[in-house]
């Protein structure tokens, strides 16, 4: 019977598997296991990972080939981003290209890898060319890129979900970002005859703690928001300033329309796309003042989160697992610390006072239950939340012995981040 599979579907699931190459919980549910005929006798996730890494290695050019060839770029992108699991910005630095170009190169590289696997595994011959997925196929809907036309007044967070990939939450140089936004919109201000005033100098914005945000999404949100305000303030003025408080900083936008035209209408619906982009970038938009009667001045604030990263300590005797946890935290608001012995973990817990401790149970020197008891008794560690991790169903025992949470292995990145956000909600920006 022909395989009802399109090449687009195959590449979609290939991309998903590459991004979670060291996450068994994702790989075990991947349809690539069947499509690539992975042997199911033994470690299936490890076998799939090995198959994909071997395919990447097959794309490596001969050593005497010039480094400037496109084939070398494809290999370096796949090797850095997926075999080594470097964050996008780090891989871009290593290769010597910008973040935006890296996004384009990733898509090209995955397409090349997908084409290679599609041809060499026989899927191209097996696939039924007459079976074309309909637009209602959930896989097809998921893989479609977000077109420019999606930027409509009705847009919300779900519309922009596809844009999050490749734009991790990280420390952001807000001074250079605001300068960039200011320079980009100067021509728009000229067309709209708006007196666009920048009430700050980049060098005067001295922030000891850089805000954590998705830079590209934040930039697009600010551009969209300010562009809408320029339409509102035609012939008037728009002032861009910056405020700084202890735990938050933000851009203040004050818009005053010109007097030589009827008072314009500012629809909140038209600001929804910008609001959605700003929120998904890990920032927030606040409406301090909207048009009211004769007062048509508008005052908006875009706030950034400026709190420091929180150190998370992982105690696990498997170095591969520690490396996986490190990858999980990259680009997040959390900072990794690891120990591969119970003794070292107990010492580190006292020295660095982590926000949360993730504790493995099955360790050779002393098991996690003994370490948990030590942590609960020591005055320097007794108030640190401990998350017990085990492949065994031991949640009730963990909670009875003083753990804050129990999480069953293997752990996925979303599950890990969700536990951290929940335990540290009172310490993080924007928490209720």
Q: Which CATH number fits domain 170-305: 3.30.565.10, 3.30.1300.10, 1.10.150.120, 1.20.140.10?
A: 3.30.565.10
Question: Residue 268's pLDDT is what?
Answer: 66
Question: Residue 51's pLDDT is what?
Answer: 92
Domain limits, the chain:
7-144, 170-305, 310-423
The tokens describing 57, both together, are: 């290695």
Q: Is 123 helix (H, G, I), strand (E, B) or coil?
A: helix
DSSP string, 350-413: HHH--SEEEEES--SSS-HHHHHHHHHHSTTTTTS-EEEEESS--HHHHHHTT-SEEEESSPPH
Beta strands in 110-222 (DSSP E): 170-171, 195-198, 212-213
Question: Residue 114's pLDDT is what?
Answer: 92
Q: What is the CATH number of domain 310-423?
A: 3.40.50.2300
| Whole-angstrom distance, CA of residue 95 vs CA of residue 99 | 11
> H/E element holding 289?
strand 284-289
| Whole-angstrom distance, CA of residue 290 vs CA of residue 296 | 7
Question: Residue 130's pLDDT is what?
Answer: 38
Question: Residue 164's pLDDT is what?
Answer: 58
Question: Residue 404's pLDDT is what?
Answer: 92
| Whole-angstrom distance, CA of residue 257 vs CA of residue 230 | 9
| Main-chain dihedrals φ then ψ at residue 251, nearest 5 degrees | -90, 135
DSSP label at residue 283: -
| Whole-angstrom distance, CA of residue 257 vs CA of residue 237 | 6
Q: Is 79 helix (H, G, I), strand (E, B) or coil?
A: helix
Strand partners, 310: 334
> Which residue, among 221, 226, 299, has the nearest Cα to 256 in the 3D structure?
299
CA distances for 63 relative to 58, 75, 76, 77, angstroms? 13, 12, 13, 17
Q: What torsion, rounded to 10 degrees, do the Cα atoms 216, 222, 228, 233 define?
A: -150
Question: Residue 386's pLDDT is what?
Answer: 95
| Whole-angstrom distance, CA of residue 281 vs CA of residue 300 | 17
Question: Residue 1's pLDDT is what?
Answer: 36
pLDDT along the chain (432 residues), means of 10: 66 88 80 88 83 92 84 92 82 84 89 92 67 33 28 42 60 79 88 82 51 82 89 86 65 80 64 82 77 70 73 91 85 82 91 92 86 92 93 91 91 85 62 41
DSSP label at residue 292: B
- State the pTM of this model: 0.44
Crossing angle of helices 342-352 and 368-377, rounded to 10°: 30
| Whole-angstrom distance, CA of residue 337 vs CA of residue 349 | 10
């Amino acid at each position: 019977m022909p395989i009802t599979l399109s090449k687009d579907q195959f590449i979609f699931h290939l991309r998903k598997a590459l991004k979670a190459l060291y996450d068994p919980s994702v790989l075990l549910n991947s349809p690539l296991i069947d499509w690539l005929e992975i042997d199911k006798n033994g470690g299936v996730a490890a076998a799939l990972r090995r198959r994909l890494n071997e395919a990447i290695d097959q794309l490596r050019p001969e050593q005497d080939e010039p480094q400037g060839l496109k084939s070398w770029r494809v290999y370096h992108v796949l090797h850095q981003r997926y075999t080594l699991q470097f964050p996008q910005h780090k891989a871009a630095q290593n290769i010597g290209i910008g973040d935006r170009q890296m996004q384009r190169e990733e898509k090209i590289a995955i397409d090349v890898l997908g084409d290679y696997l599609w041809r060499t595994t026989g899927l191209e011959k097996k696939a039924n060319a007459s079976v074309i997925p309909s637009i209602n196929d959930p896989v097809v809907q998921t893989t479609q890129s977000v077109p420019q036309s999606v930027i409509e007044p009705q847009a919300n967070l779900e519309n922009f979900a596809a844009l999050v990939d490749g734009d991790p939450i990280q420390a952001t140089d807000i001074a250079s970002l605001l300068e960039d936004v200011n320079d980009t919109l100067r021509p728009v201000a000229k067309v709209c005859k708006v007196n666009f005033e920048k009430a700050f100098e980049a060098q005067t914005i001295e922030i000891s703690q850089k805000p954590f945000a998705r830079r590209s999404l934040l930039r697009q949100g600010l551009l969209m928001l300010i562009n809408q305000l320029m339409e509102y303030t035609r012939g008037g003025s728009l002032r861009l300033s910056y405020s700084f408080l202890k735990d938050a900083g933000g851009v203040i936008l004050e818009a005053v329309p010109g007097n030589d035209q009827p008072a314009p209408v500012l629809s909140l619906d038209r600001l929804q796309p910008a609001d959605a982009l700003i929120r998904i970038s890990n920032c927030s938009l606040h409406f301090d003042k909207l048009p009211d009667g004769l007062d048509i001045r508008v005052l908006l604030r875009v706030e950034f989160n400026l709190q420091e990263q929180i150190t998370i300590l992982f105690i696990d005797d498997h170095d591969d697992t520690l490396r996986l946890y490190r990858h999980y935290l990259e680009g997040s608001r959390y900072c990794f610390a690891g120990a591969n012995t119970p003794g070292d973990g107990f010492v580190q817990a006292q020295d660095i006072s982590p926000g949360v401790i993730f504790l493995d149970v099955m360790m050779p020197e002393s098991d996690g239950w003994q370490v948990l008891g030590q942590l609960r008794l020591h005055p320097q560690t007794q108030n640190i939340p401990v998350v017990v991790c085990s492949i065994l169903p031991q949640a009730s025992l963990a909670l009875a012995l003083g753990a804050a949470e129990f999480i069953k292995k293997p752990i996925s990145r979303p599950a890990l981040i969700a536990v951290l956000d929940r335990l540290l909600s009172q310490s993080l920006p924007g928490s209720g």
